[in-house]
A and B are shown apart, each in its own frame.
Chain A
Amino acid sequence: MKKKKVKTRNLVLTLIVLALVIAYLAFLQANSMQHSYAITIVERSCIYAVAAVSMNLIIGFTGQFSLGTAGFMCIGAYVTGILTIPVDMRDQIYYLYGMAPWLHDVHLPLGVALIIAFALCAGIAYLIGWPILRLKSDYLAIATLGFSEIVRAVFGWDGLGPITNASYGVSNIPAFTSIFECVAICAVCIVIMGLLIHSSYGRAFKAIRDDDVAAEAMGINLFRTKELSFVISSAFAGVAGGLLAVFMRSAVTSTFTVALTYNILLMVVLGGIGSVSGSIIGAFLVTGSQEWLRFLDKEYYWSDLFKNLAGTAFGGMKVPLLRNGFRMVIFSILLMVVVLFWNHGITGSKEVTWDRFAAFFAGRKRKKTAQEAKK
């Protein structure tokens, strides 16, 4: 009886939150001109959330420290970009190399292009996973980082110019028709990964993460399971890359450097390694605060902040520390603090659920009553 009540409560709460989110998105969409900045932040966060969850799948749930995310995003971005740019823009974009004739008139809708990106990344991940996944921890990390750099070089190679436009990248990719399109695709991707993690496959992933010898003894095929996790994670990273290309309306190799991988790793670590909801929260938090904290990058005089200081000697002084780049310093210090003192991140390895919320508040209440009782 009580369990049922809790379930209905959870369902109602979920629906309310969903309705609020949709209402917010609809509001942004209706006033897209004034809120184009907010829209970019929401879209970018959603796309990074997909990338973060996909990275979490391999790092957090399967325990394989793979840093190839940026490479797969690069593949996804170029594939999506090349297939979706309007045919009449192509000659102008490929003015240096001329587009390959067989590709010139191939134009696909975004959804199909993303599926092709998904499939291609899955295929490549399958091929390279075969040798690479036999490596362990640090070696796997450096090998996947290396793979990511190789991908960047291949796409930047002028020999492939007629297909990829080399490192000039493809531009003029049609934008999302509305914020809903972007958010919906991201939501679908995350839900699929979430379902996978909660299936028996997901349990096999976690078994490998926690103790691979024991997992093998339980009859889990170590290599096949790792490979599955790697393939799915990479494929969704590819989709995230494709979405990022549509979002930026261009795909260039210089976007997909090691720094991008580190940035996504930051989201995963901050959110909580081994938690889907943690990664989503991490993605929104990092992307959002990187924008909100922009004021840290601007130089201010004290009189700008406190109007009554205007004219005084103090008011004419600059606010110390605030200067271009300070935002990222604060950010990296934050990351180090999380890594060193709070290595569970925001959510730890558990998911955010209504029950946890309830328990969180109930726990507080209980503590309070306990304290009062003491008095």
Chain B
Amino acid sequence: MKKKAVALVLIGALAASLAACGSSSGSSSTSAGTSADSAAASSGDNTILFGVFEPKTGENGGGGSQEELGIEYANSVRPTVTVDGTEYTIQLDWQDNQSDKTVAVTAAQKLISDGVVGVIGGYGSSVCIAAGSYFQDAKIPAIGTSCTNTNVTLGNDYYFRTCYLDPFQGEVMANWAIDNGYKEVATIDNIGNEYTSGLVKTFTDSFTKLGGTVVDAETFQTNESDFKAILTNIKNSGVTAVFSPTDYLYAPLLLNQAADLGLDVQWIAGDTWYSNVLIKDAGDNANGVVADTFYSEGGNADFDKGFKEWLNADQSRLSTNLDSDAIVGNHAVAYDAYMVLCDAIESANSLDGTAIRDAIASMDASDGFACGPYKFDENGDAIKNTSYICDIENGAWTYKSTETVDE
């Protein structure tokens, strides 16, 4: 009896205390951030910090490292910005988000407490969505590189991006499939990955609208390595093309296991598959794969030349780029993100986060970018209507066509 009474009192006490704590929390949800100026000033008189929020390790480590090259090159091209007549040296604050949403939060907090002026990155939408609200609360502008999911910038005033979006990309790939005579396709979706799921959804929508049918929609879980069951299903469905915009990690697995099963289809993927590693990892099985990209080599001669010289000047850069001086879309969008941030700081003529944000929002610039011009819509997305479609022919990515979609 006594024990029960004690237990009841305990539970009551817990309920009361939690409710008391909770009732005060409902009112205001965001902590007020002071201006980034004071924080920036503390890190040295004439240096400012740019945060680099990229995955160096984890499932997207490969793509993240390529974007870091783009940012590093941009930093070597433009090492300073001038605000109010003072020249500030830009220092890069590298934080590895490990392609992991939990680590991403810690990395974002580290950037904020380091007092960065702005953030560049990153590769992979999931981590950007996880970290986005922290940047917003701290009033630090962030410029996404290749995070293509709609939700990165939607409802977040401080997140921008230099790449195009999934609805656009999905539509481009759907157009391509229809134009090339694929009326019936299968899709492969990675449950839990915003990038893949978003792209599969928009592709399916556009593809159905254009008169095609998605005959077989297969799914798999993150970190899966055995695709034989779903590939057998696809084989059984008899389609001639498969849309599989997965993270890069799964690309060689899918291609190799499909070859084992004798599944001979046209593979259509998103920008993540556009990587030279694929040719190395999947060998002959990679031939014929079609993917789109933000930028195709040859689009901007100055950028190509400068970047290649910079890459070839240092063996470690080359090895990060998998011993090749080929330029991919990730290099270009990362380079542009850095330039956009510099331009915005100079045109705002201030190091205050809100002022920089406003400058980005009203930006309309065309010079000094790899794949510009840049102008941002009300969500903070770069207005872009061009995508480059490439395929693998004889062991090399080859430019195929430029797709444009009018909005």
Question: A223 vs B221: C-alpha distance in the bound complex, in angstroms?
Answer: 38
Structural contact, A253 and B18, CB atoms closer than 8 A? no
B102 within 8 A of A: yes
Closest to B10 in A: A192
A86 cross-chain contacts in B, Cβ below 8 A: 29
Given known A114-B22, A250-B130, contact A167–B191 (CB-CB < 8 A): yes
> Which of A95, A110, A199 contacts B22, CB < 8 Å?
A110
Given contacts A156-B192, A156-B221, contact A175 B31 (CB under 8 A): yes
- Chain B residue, CB-CB nearest to A244: B102
Could you tell me if B197 and A113 are in contact, using CB atoms closer than 8 angstroms? no
The residues of A that contact B113 with a CB separation of less than 8 Å are: 33-38
The stretch from A66-74, A176-184, A335-343 touching chain B is A176-184
State how many angstroms separate the Cβ of B165 from the closest Cβ of chain A: 13
Return the chain B residue nearest A195 by Cβ. B10
Give B291-322 as 1s and 0s: 1 = Cβ < 8 Å from A's Cβ atoms. 00000000000000000000000000000000
B39 within 8 A of A: yes
Given contact pairs A174-B29, A184-B21, A201 touches B191 in the complex (Cβ within 8 A)? no
Chain B window 23-53, contacts with chain A (Cβ cutoff 8 Å), 1 for yes, 0 for no: 1111111110110001100100000000000
Known contacts: A89-B155, A168-B197, A175-B31. The answer to whether A254 contacts B192 by CB under 8 A is: yes
Whether, in the assembled complex, B201 has its beta carbon less than 8 Å from a beta carbon of chain A, the answer is: yes
Expressed in whole angstroms, the Cα–Cα distance for A167 and B222 within the complex equals: 9
**SS of B interface (majority):** helix
A324: chain B residues at CB < 8 Å are: 56-57, 96
Known A166-B191, A185-B21, A254-B192: A32·B15 in contact at CB below 8 Å: no
Q: Does B278 contact A (CB under 8 A)?
A: no
Of all chain B residues, which has the CB nearest A31? B34
Cβ distance A45 to chain B, nearest Cβ, rounded Å: 13
How big is chain B's contact interface, by range? 35 or more
Rounded to whole Å, the gap between the CB of A68 and the closest CB of chain B is: 20
- Best-buried of A108, A111, A176 by chain B (most CB within 10 Å): A111
Residue interface bits A77-119, CB-to-B below 8 A is 1, else 0: 0000000001001001101100000000000111111110010
B19 touches A36 (CB 8 A): no
| Pair A33/B25 contact, Cβ less than 8 Å | no
Q: Is the interface of A mostly helix, strand, loop or mixed?
A: helix
Name the residue of chain B whose CB is nearest to the CB of A324: B57
Any A CB within 8 A of the CB of B347: no
Count A/B pairs, Cβ under 8 Å.
146
Query: A171 to B155, alpha carbons, bound, how many Å?
Result: 12
Query: For this complex, into which size category does the number of interface residues on chain A fall?
Result: 35 or more
Chain B's nearest CB lies how many Å from the CB of A244? 9
CB atoms of A40 and B106 under 8 A apart? yes
- In the bound complex, residues from chain B placing their C-beta under 8 Å from that of A201 are 3
- For A254, what are the chain B residues with a Cβ–Cβ distance below 8 Å? 101, 192, 222
A37 touches B29 (CB 8 A): no
Q: Which residues of A contact B20 (CB under 8 A)?
A: 111
Q: How far is the CA of A201 from the CA of B39 in the complex (A)?
A: 52
**Nearest Cβ on chain A to B230's Cβ, whole angstroms:** 15
A255 vs B106: C-alpha distance in the bound complex, in angstroms?
14
Contact, CB under 8 Å: A168 / B18: no
* In the complex, B105 has a CB within 8 A of chain A: yes
Q: Which B221-261 residues have C-beta < 8 A from chain A?
A: 221-222
Name the contact of B192 in the complex, choosing from A95, A171, A196, A252 (C-beta under 8 A): A252
Q: Hey, which bits of chain A sit against chain B, CB under 8 A?
A: 32-38, 40, 86, 89, 92-93, 95-96, 108-115, 118, 156, 158, 166-169, 171-172, 174-178, 181, 184-185, 188-189, 192, 195-196, 199-201, 248-250, 252-255, 291, 324-325
Q: Which residues on B are within 8 Å of A, measured CB to CB?
A: 3, 6, 10, 13-15, 17-31, 33-34, 38-39, 42, 56-57, 96, 101-102, 105-106, 109-110, 112-113, 115, 129-130, 133-134, 137-138, 150-151, 154-155, 191-192, 194, 197-198, 201, 219, 221-222
